[in-house]
Each structure stands twice: as structure tokens, then as C-alpha cells.
Amino acid sequence: MAAYLLGIDYGTGGGKACLIDTHGKVLAHAFREYPIIVQRPGWSEHDPNLYWKVACETVQECIAKAKIHPGHIRGVAVSSALPNLVMVDKDGNPIHLAYNLMDRRAVKEVAWLKATIGEEKMFSLTGNPVDDHPMLVNLLWEKNNRPESFRKIAYALTIDGFINLKLTGKSTVNIGSAAFYGVAWDIRKHTFDGDILREIGLPLEIFPPAYSCEDIIGVVTKEAEEATGIPAGTPVCAGAVDFCVSCVASGTIYEGDIQMNLGTCGNFGIVHKTTNFLREMLVCPHAVESRTTYVTIPTTMTGGQLMRYVRDALSHFEVEIERVMGVSAYDLLNLEAERVPPGSDGLVALPYLMGERTPIWDPHARGVLFGLSLSHTKGHIIRALMESVAYALYHNFEIVRNAGWRVNIPIVFNEGGARSRLWRQIITDVFGVPTVFLKNRAGAPYGGAILAGVATGEFRDFSVAKQWAEYVDRLEPSLENHEIYMEYYKLYRRLYEHLKDDFQELARLRERYVKGE
């Protein structure tokens, strides 16, 4: 009898669904974009009602495209880009807009936590740095700034947890996503530290029970069947962090494997068993053997989002060409950048348009174009931004390599802007190591479908992911370009050090005048 598996994934810019058979063949894929809402500087939100709308539309589209009987869907897994936060009331309805991973508002709460609990204590428990990225920090902001609505919170959920609630009627979190609660989350024991929650004044009851990524948490309800087309009774597993199921999709499942994405954020992930976590990095349990395996995920806040910004804000001509002729605006931007040599003729960018995460952890950092002259074209700006993302990721790679962790080469490129061969070559040259490109780039929802297959017993283990991953377009680094880039990289590093105090002052002025003080 035919059997199919469904993955649903939420990024910062949109949601996707993917339907596969038990041989790993993609039968259908669907995507919907949703807006990033920026009400004030440093804020970044979504309309949470769109999450469910996207799930319903993409799942229905996949079923229709694949022309399958939905009764043969054996399991569902949902993933999302973390951190995010969907606060729901006792009826499961969202309270306020949802936080996404680019939100940087909770600066005062971070300072308070560092003074009250201490960075060392929080890092030793969570394995993660304390910044305004953990969800508990956002909840403290809500408690301090919107106390009346805070008291209405029945559960503080991730996006994937919210969709699982809509599918099954149960509030849950998987232990991979739960790592992004931070502050009081014990990443080794996979549970909350009740003493810390009490000390910071957050009630334990608003946090859902945590499950291994591979656990079945419930089944699709009749109401969810009517909305999505997934039959009632279909098993739903706990799900995972989007990057981790993206790793599954690319066969990045063994210790030392590295995958790189250029989605909204730019990041790479390295699989490991050690719990001697790196202080500057983000880490969470992998979707694979989630109780004992981790993925450390160095992240620069604006990866592919930089190209989306250039497209939307600076490239109306290219967008119009795409509308009229069907030629991708991104491809046109790449053509402009390809004409520019390594180092962008002396133009160096800092890519911190929404602050920065690893390894500098500075919510006040902002984008910079350094060395801009009348001889520079839009192509120079595009390439300089691409190179800035490569430098930001390389800064993290240096730390991982210096820690002595096992590193399996080549690095595997997967999603987002990685489809740009130019961008891949830039990163290959900056890193100075070979890279390959995943041929089947159905991405995170594809990995989620494999996770659903393991959770439901359709697959014995995750080894099928490695078997199905096909790597193409191996790129070798240019030694000459690497040497050029290392000179510019040193300047890139110095620029931030020179400007970081000025970023603080700029943030103070922005806050003063935005509030009208």
C-alpha cells in the first residue's frame, strides 16, 4: 500500500510544505510568503494567524499537486526557525503578534538577567549565550511592558508548537525548539529549572510539556482535517528546529558533518556529541537522536535577507523585469555582482542590519558600507554584502576550528541564497575549504518528512537521509582569492571594534527621538 509523509516548515520569510513517498521522492512542494512586521526599530514580528493559513494552503496544494489519497499520509512533522514566540490564551488564540528571530527589543531584560542570575550560571545550564534571543527574555519583556495581556497567556509556544496545537489540540514543545527558551532551560536534562523560573518571576504552567523530536505527540483532529485535508487520526510527531531538519534533508547527521544555509539568516551547523558547548554559539538538540546529539549553529542575523532587502528597496527595475519577462530579480543582481572582483574594489560591508548574533552578540550593531566612492556601482554593493556574510560566518568557523572539534569536509550548502553559485564561491574562497551543493533542495520540510517517517516507524533510522542526499557542483577554494579575502577580513573585524561604541550611541539617540523624549 502506498505511504506518504508530510513536512511543514516555517522560516522568517514564509512557510513551506513537502510531501514525499517512502523512497524519498518529492511528490509536491508548496510555499507561501508572509510579511515581516516592524512596528518599531528593533522589533520584528509576524501575524500568527497567517501561520495556520499557510499550513492549510500549502498542505492542500501539496495533496492536490501529488494527486494522492490523503488517507495514505502516515505522519506529519512541523519545524520552525528559532527563536520565535507565539503566546496563546486558554482557547488557543494568539495574544499579540508573534516574535520572530530578528526581534531585538528586550535589551533591558537581558541586562537585568545578567545582573540577577549571572551569565555564567545561565550558560552552564542552557549551553547558550544570554542575549535578547531566548524566548524567556521576550516573556519578561511582555510581563514588564504589557502585564494585562501577559496574565492572559495560557501557553508560550514556538511556531511549530502552535501549529501542532492546531493540528492535535495539544500544547507541546520538542526538546530541540525548547533549547531556545533559554535562561532556565537545562539543555542536558531537557527540562526547566524551577528555581530559576521562580527567581525571575515566570510561572512554570505557561510552558508546555517537552518531548523528544522523534516522539508522537498526538493525532490530527477532525477540525484540523477539515482545514488542511490531512485525515483525522494521522500521527503528528514533536517536530524540530528548522535548521536541524534541514540538516536531515542534506544528510548532515553524523558527528563532524557541516551544513550551511543562506536563508533569511546566514548560518551553518556542525553536528556533535560533546556537551562542552562553545560560549559564543547557539546550540540545540539535533532532530537525530535528539536526547544525545546536538547541532551548534553559528548565525549571522541577515544572510539571504540582505539580498531580499536589496531586491525590495533598491532594485525596482530588476523586479519589474522579473514581472514582465520572468527572469529572476536575484539572478539579475548576481550578474551585476559577478562583474566585481574579490574584495569589491575596496568596499567593505558590515551586514548587521538587524543587529548581530554569533559571535559578537550585539543587538545595537547596524549595517555599514565602508569605503564607498563614486567609482562603486550597485554591483559592488551587492558583492560587498555577499562578502560580509562570508566574513561573518568565517568568524564563527575560526572559533569552531580552534576548539578542536571534528570537522568533516566538504561543507554542504543547502537552502536559500546558496543557489547563487557566486555566493557559494565567495564563501568557499573565504573559508579556504571545498564545498558542495545539495542537489535535492526541498529543504527543511523534506527533512521534516523524513523525521515523520522515523517517528512513525516507516524508516528504521535516519540513515536513509544520507543515502538520498546527492551532492553536486563541488567548488575548490582559490588560494589567491583566500589571501585577498583574509586581508579584507582583518579590516572587517577591526571596523566593528572601532564602531561598537558608536552603535551604542546611535541606539540611544534612536530610542530618544523615536519616543519623542
pLDDT tens across 99-137, in order? 998 898 998 999 999 999 999 999 999 999 887 668 999
Q: Positive or negative, the Cα torsion across 163, 172, 124, 127?
A: negative
- Asked if 140 contacts 206 with a C-beta cutoff of 8 angstroms, the reply is no
- Residue 331 pLDDT > 80: yes
- Residue 499 pLDDT > 50: yes
Helices (H) then strands (E): counts for the chain: 18, 25
Q: Is the peptide bond before 363 cis (omega within 30 degrees of 0)?
A: no
- Residue 220 pLDDT > 60: yes
Cell of 297: 549553529
- The predicted pLDDT at position 129 comes to 87
- Residue 89 pLDDT > 90: yes
- Asked if 210 contacts 190 with a C-beta cutoff of 8 angstroms, the reply is yes
User: Which residues are bridge partners to 249 per DSSP?
Assistant: none
Q: How far is CA 291 from CA 80, 142, 188, in A?
A: 19, 31, 8
- The predicted pLDDT at position 493 comes to 98
Tell me the per-residue pLDDT of 354-402, one tens digit each, with 9 for 90 and over.
899 899 999 899 999 999 999 999 999 999 999 999 999 999 999 999 9
Q: What 8-state DSSP symbol labels residue 477? A: P
The CATH fold assigned to 4-242 is: Nucleotidyltransferase; domain 5 (3.30.420)
Q: Is the pTM of this model over 0.85?
A: yes
- Residue 512 pLDDT > 90: no
The residue with greater pLDDT, 435 or 42, is 435
- Residue 213 pLDDT > 70: yes
Structural domain spans, the chain: 4-242
Tell me the per-residue pLDDT of 469-491, one tens digit each, with 9 for 90 and over.
999 999 999 999 999 999 999 99
Tell me what the mean pLDDT of segment 34-42 comes to: 92
- Residue 169 pLDDT > 50: yes
Distance CA 67, CA 72 (A): 11
Determine what percent of the chain is predicted with pLDDT higher than 90: 91
- The predicted pLDDT at position 102 comes to 85
- Asked if 347 contacts 380 with a C-beta cutoff of 8 angstroms, the reply is yes
Distance CA 288, CA 270 (A): 13
Tell me what the mean pLDDT of segment 172-182 comes to: 97
Distance CA 33, CA 355 (A): 23
Distance CA 211, CA 200 (A): 24
- The predicted pLDDT at position 517 comes to 40
- The predicted pLDDT at position 516 comes to 44
Average pLDDT of the chain is 95
Tell me what the mean pLDDT of segment 206-214 comes to: 98
- The predicted pLDDT at position 132 comes to 62
The residue with greater pLDDT, 2 or 372, is 372
Tell me what the mean pLDDT of segment 434-445 comes to: 93
Tell me what the mean pLDDT of segment 224-251 comes to: 97
Tell me what the mean pLDDT of segment 24-32 comes to: 97
- The predicted pLDDT at position 12 comes to 87
